[in-house]
Amino acid sequence: MENAKSVKLILEDGTAIEGTSFGAFTSTAGEVVFSTAMTGYPENLTDPSFAGQILVLTYPMVGNYGVPGEELYKSISKIFESDKIHIAGLVVNYYSEEHSHWNAAKSLGDWLKEYNIPGIFGVDTRMLTKILREKGAMLGKIVAGGQDVELHDPNQDNLVAQVSPTEVKHYGQGQHKIVLVDCGTKTNIIRCFLQRDVELIRVPWDYDFTQLDYDGLFLSNGPGDPKMCTATIQHLQTALSQDKPIFGICLGSQLMGLAAGGDTFKLKYGHRSHNQPVLLSGTKRSYITSQNHGFAVDTDTLPAEWTMLFENLNDGTCEGIKHKSKPFFSTQFHPEAAGGPEDTEYLFDDFLKSVAEYKAGQDS
């Protein structure tokens, strides 16, 4: 590559790896996490749940299908998972500036430059992933030129407050009025609702939605430690004392666990990929799911009226919870996918069915 500049990836345990810069030539610090997904970097990089993280992709060649241009679907992005890149930095093995795909509009490197996000390539990402898997996700930094930066733990910040919108927005028209608490929602969650019979009210993470007139409550994914979302947990506790259906995804699942009185903990290195197997409790049915999380609900701490709904078949951790008698449930994985398998998208239909049943119960 012309004018190749070397940069360093440095981990908190002292591991230092030299590589070549692509994207912005700038330094950054964050939590270094890995994803074993084979495709989907436009979606991953714009997923707000990655805020504060330096993302290592284990797939060996990245960039060869470029980055699509922006298109809108009902006033939201048709392709990206939010309106900007949220990762702090990107680490890949082989970066392909050359790209070819029917909807490619630019290279991955140029896209990273637009948002001033550094990338480093020429890194043995499988060796790096073995380190992260054995020692756990670590703080790290990408250092460009002589511009050193301090290590910084993003999980100490209220990242949700940084990525959540500040205003209420309305979308679509439909029979069911759903409040979406946006802690950093992926746009495919909005698309999934708008493809159904829904009027959506998207509210900031700390908005008191309990004052609104709605039929069902949805809690989005989002970055960082769920325990930072004290305002959301407080409002959610009010909703849990009522009977309107509630569905949470990823951070939303952790918030439901915390509001119910349970606890969450940090996983050693988390689950980030498109092929995580989960088991539906009480059945022999498993699904392959898309995941991106570093925390999980501690099932042992759940109060008696709650139970585990899905279990991760790799490590046995909680992949969703449900209330035993009320219409409240959640998934730690991403039924909306983007990227990843769509096998569990039916859960949006299950949620809306419970909303319809709740409303029918109110009318009779």
Ligand X SMILES: NC(=O)CC[C@H](N)C(=O)O
Of 15-23, 62-70, 280-288, 289-297, which part binds ligand X (CB under 6 A)?
A: 289-297
- Cβ burial of 303 (10 Å; 0-12, 13-18, 19+) is exposed
Q: Is 348 annotated as a binding residue?
A: no
Cβ distance 159 to 224 under 8 Å?
Answer: yes
Rg for the chain, CA atoms, rounded? 20
Is the Cβ of residue 46 or residue 292 nearer to ligand X in the bound state? 292
44 binds ligand X (CB under 6 A): no
113 binds ligand X (CB under 6 A): no
Angle between helices 230-240 and 251-260 (to 10 degrees): 60
Of 216-224, 233-241, 277-285, 346-354, which part binds ligand X (CB under 6 A)?
A: 216-224
Minimal distance, residue 187 CB to ligand X, in Å: 14
Alpha helices in the chain, H assignment, sequence order = 41-46, 108-114, 125-135, 159-163, 187-194, 230-240, 251-260, 346-363
Is the Cβ of residue 194 or residue 296 nearer to ligand X in the bound state? 296
Q: Is 147 annotated as a binding residue?
A: no
Q: Is 294 annotated as a binding residue?
A: yes
Minimal distance, residue 328 CB to ligand X, in Å: 18
| Residues with active-site annotation | 250, 334, 336
CA distance 216 to 357: 11
Is the Cβ of residue 293 or residue 326 nearer to ligand X in the bound state? 293
Minimal distance, residue 232 CB to ligand X, in Å: 12
Lookup: tokens for 182: 């946006």
Among 49, 107, 164, 188, binds ligand X (CB under 6 A): 49
Question: At which residue do the structure tokens 């009185």 appear?
Answer: 261
Minimal distance, residue 311 CB to ligand X, in Å: 16
**Continuous segment of H or E residues that includes residue 60:** none
Minimal distance, residue 50 CB to ligand X, in Å: 8
**Which of positions 128-147 make contact with ligand X (CB under 6 A)?**
none
Of 197-205, 279-287, 290-298, 346-354, which part binds ligand X (CB under 6 A)?
A: 290-298
Minimal distance, residue 224 CB to ligand X, in Å: 5
77 binds ligand X (CB under 6 A): no
Cβ distance 205 to 183 under 8 Å?
Answer: yes
Is the Cβ of residue 27 or residue 187 nearer to ligand X in the bound state? 187
Is the Cβ of residue 26 or residue 35 nearer to ligand X in the bound state? 35
Q: Is 221 annotated as a binding residue?
A: no
Q: How far apart are the first and last CA of the chain?
A: 69
Nearest alpha carbon to residue 35 among 345, 344, 277, 339: 339
Q: Is 254 annotated as a binding residue?
A: yes
Pairing status of strand 176-182 against strand 306-308: unpaired
222 binds ligand X (CB under 6 A): yes
CA distance 16 to 140: 10
161 binds ligand X (CB under 6 A): no
Cβ distance 36 to 21 under 8 Å?
Answer: no
Q: What single DSSP character describes residue 254?
A: H
Nearest alpha carbon to residue 329 among 339, 315, 319: 319
Among 55, 250, 297, 337, binds ligand X (CB under 6 A): 250
Of 107-115, 174-182, 222-230, 320-328, which part binds ligand X (CB under 6 A)?
A: 222-230
Binding site for ligand X (CB under 6 A): 49, 221-224, 250-251, 292-295
Binding-site residue numbers for L-glutamine are: 49, 222, 224, 251, 254, 292, 294-295
